[in-house]
Amino acid sequence: MDAIHSKSALVYRHFKRALRSGRYAPGQRIDPATLAAEFHTSPTPVRFALYRLVGETLLVDNARDGLHVPLLTEVALRDLYDWMERLLLIACDIGATPAARKTEPLVLTSADDDLVTLTWQLFDAIALATARGTLHHAVKQANDRLAPIRRAAQGLLEHCFDELAQLNRHWQARDIPVLKSALHEYHERRKQLVPCIVALLSERGDRPH
């Protein structure tokens, strides 16, 4: 049983990373047998890992039709952006607490940086600083769901590096009122692009996998 759980944890970590990277298109069916062959294991630990991801809403179980990467409607994507913004504003209002685990300051060097990963890390740090486990978990879950969307949407947005660098400066300075305003503007920009983002993701989902 320990071997199954160990293998399941490995599949979970690697497959979750692949989902966050955008490797799998929205609506794509996930075949446990194919993953079992890829990871050189039996289907059992793969299924454990996949249903853990269903619990995190990174996959959906369509019963007889199997497991799929979630499809996003315009309403659902706006809700997701709104949810992420609200969670971060709550974290800003709570603020950093002495009990919070210290994290290394985020370093941005150029527009060639992996801005999707750095965005995930910045938003995670803001939530982690509150030392509120439930809030941090909610931000991590929203962060994971938004990661492939952020990667797909990069080509639709200008000045992403400057935008993220500005957010990071406000956070490092703990200039919370200005940070809250900048976070609102960050999410508003993306909400305005929701139809374009959904169309782009739908186009990816229509291509042969």
CB-based contact 152:106 (threshold 8 Å): no
2-68 shares its CATH topology with 74-201: no
Distance, in Å, from the CA atom of 86 to the CA atom of 207, rounded to the nearest integer, reads 34
**One-letter-per-residue 3-state SS of 41-87:** CCHHHHHHHHHHHHHCCCCEECHHHCEECCCCCHHHHHHHHHHHHHH
Q: What is residue 29's DSSP assignment? A: E
For residue 135, what are the CA distances in angstroms to 78, 95, 124?
20, 12, 10
CATH assignment of 2-68, given 1.20.1250.20, 3.40.50.10860, 2.40.50.140, 1.10.10.10?
A: 1.10.10.10
- 63 with 104: CB under 8 angstroms? no
Domain boundaries, the chain: 2-68, 74-201
**Is residue 4 within 8 Å of residue 48, measured between CB atoms?**
yes
- pTM (two decimals): 0.87
Please state which CATH number belongs to domain 74-201. 1.20.120
At 71 the pLDDT is 86
Helix 74-94 vs helix 194-206: crossing angle, to nearest 10: 120
Q: How many CA atoms lie within 13 A of 203 on its CB side?
A: 8
Local mean pLDDT, 10-residue blocks, the chain (209 residues): 79 93 88 91 92 93 89 93 98 85 77 89 95 95 93 90 95 95 97 94 66
